[in-house]
Structure formats: C-alpha cells, structure tokens
Chains A and B, each alone.
Chain A
Amino acid sequence: MCNVCGCGSGEIRIEGVAAGHADLRPTVHRHADGSVHAHDHPHDHDHSPAQIAGSDGSGDLHFGHGPAHAHAPGLSQARMVQIEQDILSKNDRYAKANRAGLQQRGIFAINLVSSPGSGKTTLLVRTIEALNGALTTTVIEGDQQTTNDAERIRATGARAIQINTGKGCHLDAQMVGDAIERLDPPEDSLLLIENVGNLVCPASFDLGEAHKVAILSVTEGEDKPLKYPDMFRAADLMLLNKVDLLPYLNFNVEQALAAALQVNPRLRVIQVSATTGAGFDDWLAWLRQGSAAARRQRVHADPDKTTYSAGREPAVAAQS
C-alpha cells in the first residue's frame, strides 16, 4: 500500500487544475453483522463539570462514575469510543456514488491496472482505433506527472482527461468522480480508466468501475501474479499483452496463466498484442458484451431505485 511506498496526496491535479475536496456526506456506520447505514450526527455536548465528573441524575457530582472510576485533579476522564469503521470507507462511499451514477447512464467503466511499461496506453489507443466508433469511448488517464498519455489518447479523436496524482501512486474514487464530472461521458458509452502504473495500491481502491482489468506483459516475470496477488485477485480479466514478442523471449505462458489462476481461479485471460492486434477480437467482444449489459441495465433501471443515497446499496453492477 501507500503506507509502504510513502506516496501522499495533496498534489492532485486534473489537467492542471488543483482538485479541491470537501466531504459533506454523513457518517456511515458499519455494524458487527456487516450491515451499513448512515445518519447525521447533530451532537451538541455541553461539557459541564457534571459530565466530566459523571452524574447519576440526582444532581450530585460523583467523581467515581466516569470511565476511569476515579478522579485526579486536573486530569480528565479518558474513555474508549467504539468506531468499527473501515479505513477505506470514505473512498468506498465515493466509489459507490460513482458506480451508481455510471449505472444510471448506462456507462460501462473499466479500471485498467498494471505495472508501468506493460503497454496500457498503447493498448488503449489500439482499442479505440479497433472499435472504430462502434462504442463511444472516453478515457481517464492517471499518472504522477505529465499529460502525455491523455494527449496520445486525444490523437485518436477520443475525449480524454488526465489526472496527475503528484506523489500519489494510485487513483482514488474521489479523483475519478471529479474527472467524470468534467469529462461528462455520454450515456451508453465506454469509459476506460487507466490507473497509475502500480501493482499494489490500486488493488485496494475501488473507483466505482464495473471491472478491474489487469494487464501483464510477456516482458515481465511469469510469477508476477504470485508476487502481487492482491491485484490479480481484484481483477476479473487479465490481458496478457505483447504476445507478438514471445518468439524472442523465454516467457512461459502456461506458467504465467497457472500463477494467475492460482491467485484468482475465476480470472478470465485473453492473450493480446497491442502492436499486431492479435487477440483483439476476443477483447473487443468482451468490451461490447459488458457495454451491452450496462446499457440494458440503464433501460430497465427504475429511476427511483437507482438514485444514489448515502449508505444505501446501489443497484448491483452488471456482471460484477
């Protein structure tokens, strides 16, 4: 995670504009039975001496009734507060809102994750070209610095927005929510989110996508899924990229697939080459299928039921 690599936030820029955040949402509570609900807390406490001392309702002050069962002059009564809240709960709330918004508009969103240099951007460019307008596609690009990738995507004619995470090593749901707002992808379209090249942190941060797609290139090690299991476990599809280079490498495809399936037995794998277009029929078919499912869901969606409200489970994502 980021606590290991030391990445930080606060330098996030979406195409040159610093992203300002304000969280006005109510607190979400998670109970021991797993249920989650939200409510506002307009707690107004009056911290009179009686409260510090503890009062039994008789109006008398009892300095032994506090949590510490004792009192020392000048010291307050410390007490334990139960919280039971997931550390990533704030991100998850934003992700839920993103997912609900995307579903309402029939947008099929994919979160592409991989190491740096696995060929994500080249794959996206080729994908947009191969789709040839069959699906309206918009792209959110995540990188620490530069708008190079967004410019490469725009060269294909597709709309793209770049998020620079500064020192951050992953996209989070709030950044993506801001980017979606600015990008405003049309209804029934395909939204491709290229995460920051990193096989660790992006696994934990839900962005509100329908699927995570992990890309492994044959110039990497076969055992990468075992070394970074969280990422390959979080993904629903793995693209084995650069297969056109296989004749020149000592890459054992079977070993790589076995490693990926060991980590995630339900992982689907498609072997592709963004350079030659090999395997693209399957990959494009997968995208079309997902997009059609997202569209159907919008058509059948009851607007009352899919309207997002904090703390309520939004409609289930297509195929997820």
Chain B
Amino acid sequence: MSLAEGVLQIVEDTAKREGARRVSLVVLEIGKLSSVVPEALSFCFEAVTRGSVAEGARLEWVELPGQAYCMQCEQAVPLEAVYAPCPQCGSGQLQLIQGNEMRVKEMQIEQ
C-alpha cells in the first residue's frame, strides 16, 4: 500500500508540473527479482487514486527480467532468483545488474 502511495505521489507531482487535467495511464517498470507483486500493487493503486488526478487511470507494468554480471564468466547472465547461482558456471559471485527495479516509467496525461 505504501508503494502504491509512492506511485501516486510521483504521479501527482508530475501531473502538477505538467499541468495535467487528468492522468489516464501510468506505466511502471518492475524487476522480476523485486519483492513487488504487480497485481497486488494494481489493486492498491486503484484504492489510493480515488479522488485524485489519477482516478480511473490504467496501471500497466513492464517486467524486467533478472540479470547479473558473473565474475567467473566475465559476462552478463540471466538470473531467475536473487540467490540463484550463475546458470552457466554455477558460481555465486554475481553482481545484480537488473531485476530489482520498482520505477514509474511514464504516464499519459490529458491537458
């Protein structure tokens, strides 16, 4: 719920800055390895936006797959879980480079 409020805060700030009359669409980027359940966030978003400039706005999300840099393979490898070993060499020496995102990407406004 506080994440949904975080989204609304960003949306409201941006709407004000851009002079928007209404917000019709909000697009999020959610990493596959982040602890966000987009469906649950979507439900909360509907609740928190009631009465705001974003009331009735559609919430869409882009899921970003997990990716890490493997020190052994010296290259970026796909990652299924935060603690999973490298799918190529089995090493645990991984540096997460993508998949942890919780970001408001863009939104559609009407003026």
A contact set with B: CB distance below 8 Å: 1-4, 6-9, 27, 30, 41, 43, 45, 47, 51-52, 76-91, 168, 170, 172, 200-201, 203-204, 226, 229-230, 233, 262-265
Contacts and interface: CB of A to CB of B under 8 A. Distances in A.
B76 interface: no
A230 B103 contact: no
B38 to A, nearest CB: 9
A85 B10 CA distance: 8
B107 interface: yes
Contacts, number: 126
B2 A233 contact: no
Given A77-B111, A79-B108, A1 B3 contact: yes
Given A1-B35, A2-B1, A82-B106, A76 B9 contact: no
Interface residues of B, number: 42
Given A3-B36, A27-B13, A83-B106, 5 more contacts: A1-B36, A4-B37, A7-B2, A9-B5, A230-B35
Chain A binding surface SS class:
mixed
B109 A79 contact: yes
B3 A43 contact: no
Contact of B6 (A47, A81, A90): A90
Contacts of B105: 82-84
A90 B2 CA distance: 11
Given A229-B82, A233-B82, A81 B104 contact: no
A87 B111 contact: no
A4 B40 contact: yes
10 closest residue pairs by CB, A with B: A263-B83, A45-B19, A87-B6, A87-B102, A3-B41, A3-B40, A76-B110, A78-B110, A2-B2, A8-B1
